[in-house]
Amino acid sequence: MFLPVFDKEINKSMKNLIIIISALSLHCTAQSAWTLWASGLPSAHFVKMSVAPNHDIFYAGSQTVIYKANTTSSSGLFSAMPTIPVPTSVQNNIETVICNVNSEPIVGIFRSNSADPFLFKFDNFTNTWNICSVNSLPNLGAFCSARAPNGDLWVGTKWAYVYKSIDNGLNFSQIDETPIINSSYPCYYPTFGNGCTSDGAIYSINVDGNGRVYAGTECGGVVYTDDAGITWKPADFHPCQTANPALKDSFSAMNPITGAGNVGAIGFTSNNNVIFNGPRMWTLGWNSSFALADMTAHTVTQSTGFVSHFIASGLQFTKIVTTSNGRIFMHSGRNLSLVGPPIGVYTSTDGINWTLFNTGITDPDDGTDNSSLAVDGNKVFFSSIYGNVWMYDASSGLGVDGLTGVQSAKLLFPNPATNTLTFTNISGKTIIKIYNTLGKIVMEKEIENEVALDITQLVGGIYTVIEEDSLGRSYHKVVITK
């Protein structure tokens, strides 16, 4: 491999860093398609999956049993865990599964008798399931769950409240977020809920990289808390009129996130912007009812790349996952009256532009089913209704502009950089594209042979540099300091 002559000001440690980056570019190749990772599991609609910190992955497709494998295995060898002591009033299959920091799963169910337990925690030491202690019981049961970076566990329930555990799932405490919101935002109910006097069911819950907890509601769109549930706010930065806080601000740029209705899924970009869905966005004339909320700019942008009006209900989306390198995946069922491409797994890097990515999946498309997704680092797992689990390794693919991880032996320096990036080992004409963390091109230039590229106009941050020539593509992660 050809090594450039470095500027004398580049120290030895920086040389080593550049060599390491180049070696990674040469030897890391992403999958170009999904591969069948496990089969023979119970077939079921609305399968739930979750990955634990120790890389155990759990598959829930029945009322009483979940199955466990480990994501580090080349193929998924799932084994049945002990039977969960669900009450006789249990309804449907397991509704949600999450893991605590000790890699113990916690499952939630629906039940017809509101006096029965609805949350169960596995004990790794005794190899048994225990009923979670809850200070107040919900009407129907658990619908969604998430683990925060600090280890707190969050559960959303149907026709009830949010629940939080700070002791790995032994005990859960109820939080009634509706009156908290309405006390600070008197315009919120019943205006935003189309007549609702509360948030209603919590259909989705998720926690971003900063620990902010978002809940997707039945009536009030997306709400969040920054202080572990003490206070709650609408995700709309300005839902009420300034002059009269009892009235809705119909001109707010974030109206779609509070008026979405039945928010079945919440996910995040790599910079913690919110991806969400809701069927009431059809009232805006949008095609997808799927959008990105920029929580810094306080705007909402319609997502693109889908078949027009393919969402039949708000709960077709139940899971959005993001890999460690920022690639986002989601799966949806569809409106069966539609004619068009199959519905399945979609991928994005910015939460706005989406591409259908079913390559390698051979299970038939079931338009009514949302299936499930789980992520472990850069490995993504997709379960179909047929008892199969498919895996995609995005460890070196960026998912931008169709990139699939093809690499070639090229170098750039310095890294970190401030004002210039020097490219060497360029053979013939090469297109240089620089992407920001949102997956957007911030610079594009055609170069030939060695060249120093002026980057003084770029702000500090982490960028992805793509080099395209007749031999293929290579990429580098570059830190720009100012």
Give 172-201 as a DSSP string: EEEE-HHHHHHHH-TTSTTTTTTT-SS---
Over range 332-336, report the average pLDDT.
Answer: 62
Residues 368 and 410 in one domain: no
Write the CATH number for 387: 2.130.10.10
Q: Is the pLDDT of residue 67 over 60?
A: yes
> pLDDT tens digit string along 158-213?
989 999 999 999 999 999 999 999 999 999 988 887 788 999 999 999 999 999 99
What total number of domains does the chain contain?
2
pLDDT score of 311: 62
Residue 23 host element (H or E): helix 12-27
Q: Among 111-120, 124-133, 327-336, 408-417, name the one with the lowest average pLDDT.
A: 408-417
* Of residues 309, 303, 263, the one with CA closest to residue 283: 309
Residues 43 and 23 in one domain: no
Write the CATH number for 443: 2.60.40.3080
pLDDT score of 401: 42
CB contact set of 71 (below 8 Å; sequence gap of 6+): 51, 55, 56, 57, 376, 379, 381
Q: How confident is the model at residue 336 (pLDDT cuts 50, 70, 90)?
A: low
In a domain, 212, yes or no: yes
pLDDT score of 403: 44
Report for 58-67, 193-202, 284-293: range of highest mean pLDDT:
58-67
Q: Is the pLDDT of residue 38 over 50?
A: yes
Q: How confident is the model at residue 284 (pLDDT cuts 50, 70, 90)?
A: confident
| Cβ atoms of 385 and 43 closer than 8 Å | yes
In a domain, 399, yes or no: no
Q: Which is it for strands 171-175 and 133-134: parallel, antiparallel or unpaired?
A: parallel
- Residue 69: other Cβ atoms inside 10 A: 21
435: amino acid identity, one letter:
Y
Question: Between these two residues, 310 and 10, which has the higher pLDDT value?
Answer: 310
Cα dihedral 72, 78, 83, 84, rounded to 10, equals 50
Instruction: Tokens for 123, please give them.
Output: 């004990």
Query: What gap in Å lies between CA 62 and CA 39, rounded to an integer?
Result: 16
CA 242 from centre of chain: 34
Q: Among 106-110, 219-223, 249-253, 445-449, name the one with the lowest average pLDDT.
A: 445-449
Question: Between these two residues, 307 and 20, which has the higher pLDDT value?
Answer: 307
Question: Between these two residues, 366 and 441, which has the higher pLDDT value?
Answer: 441
- Residues of the chain by 3-state class (helix, strand, coil), percent to 5: 10, 40, 55
Residues 413 and 275 in one domain: no
In a domain, 2, yes or no: no
pLDDT score of 452: 84
Query: What gap in Å lies between CA 82 and CA 128, rounded to an integer?
Result: 7
Residues 173 and 236 in one domain: yes
What percent of the chain is predicted at pLDDT more than 90? Answer: 53
Last residue of a domain, one of 346, 374, 393: 393
Residues 113 and 194 in one domain: yes
What range defines the domain where residue 17 resides? 12-29+404-480
Query: What gap in Å lies between CA 86 and CA 76, rounded to an integer?
Result: 27
pLDDT score of 105: 98
Residues 229 and 290 in one domain: yes
Last residue of a domain, one of 393, 425, 450: 393
pLDDT score of 29: 43
pLDDT score of 434: 86
Over range 62-82, report the average pLDDT.
Answer: 96
Q: Is the pLDDT of residue 332 over 90?
A: no
Residues 51 and 66 in one domain: yes
Burial of 106 (0-12, 13-18, 19+ CB in 10 A): buried
DSSP SS3 for 392: strand
Residues 376 and 412 in one domain: no
| Cβ atoms of 351 and 303 closer than 8 Å | yes
Residues 285 and 314 in one domain: yes
pLDDT score of 163: 98
In a domain, 25, yes or no: yes
pLDDT score of 278: 80
Q: Is the pLDDT of residue 227 over 90?
A: yes
- Residue 447: other Cβ atoms inside 10 A: 17
Residues 154 and 81 in one domain: yes
pLDDT score of 451: 79
In a domain, 379, yes or no: yes
Q: Is the pLDDT of residue 308 over 70?
A: no
Q: How confident is the model at residue 448 (pLDDT cuts 50, 70, 90)?
A: confident
Q: How confident is the model at residue 6 (pLDDT cuts 50, 70, 90)?
A: very low
In a domain, 398, yes or no: no
Over range 369-373, report the average pLDDT.
Answer: 76
Question: Between these two residues, 343 and 85, which has the higher pLDDT value?
Answer: 85
pLDDT score of 262: 86
| Cβ atoms of 14 and 22 closer than 8 Å | no
What percent of the chain is predicted at pLDDT more than 70? Answer: 80
Q: Is the pLDDT of residue 15 over 90?
A: no
* Of residues 315, 265, 388, 311, the one with CA closest to residue 92: 315
Q: Among 69-73, 219-223, 323-327, 363-367, name the one with the lowest average pLDDT.
A: 363-367
Q: Is the pLDDT of residue 293 over 70?
A: yes
Over range 458-470, report the average pLDDT.
Answer: 79
Please report how many Cα atoms fall inside a 13 Å half-sphere around the Cα of residue 86, on the Cβ side.
26
Q: Is the pLDDT of residue 78 over 90?
A: yes
Last residue of a domain, one of 373, 393, 413: 393
| Cβ atoms of 101 and 53 closer than 8 Å | yes
In a domain, 149, yes or no: yes
Question: Between these two residues, 356 and 293, which has the higher pLDDT value?
Answer: 293
Over range 204-225, report the average pLDDT.
Answer: 95
Residues 278 and 421 in one domain: no
Residues 230 and 335 in one domain: yes
Q: Among 126-135, 265-274, 410-419, name the one with the lowest average pLDDT.
A: 410-419
| Cβ atoms of 267 and 275 closer than 8 Å | yes
Strand order in the sheet with 56-60: 48-51, 56-60, 66-70, 79-80
pLDDT score of 380: 96
In a domain, 6, yes or no: no
pLDDT score of 472: 60
Q: How confident is the model at residue 259 (pLDDT cuts 50, 70, 90)?
A: confident
Mean pLDDT of the chain: 83
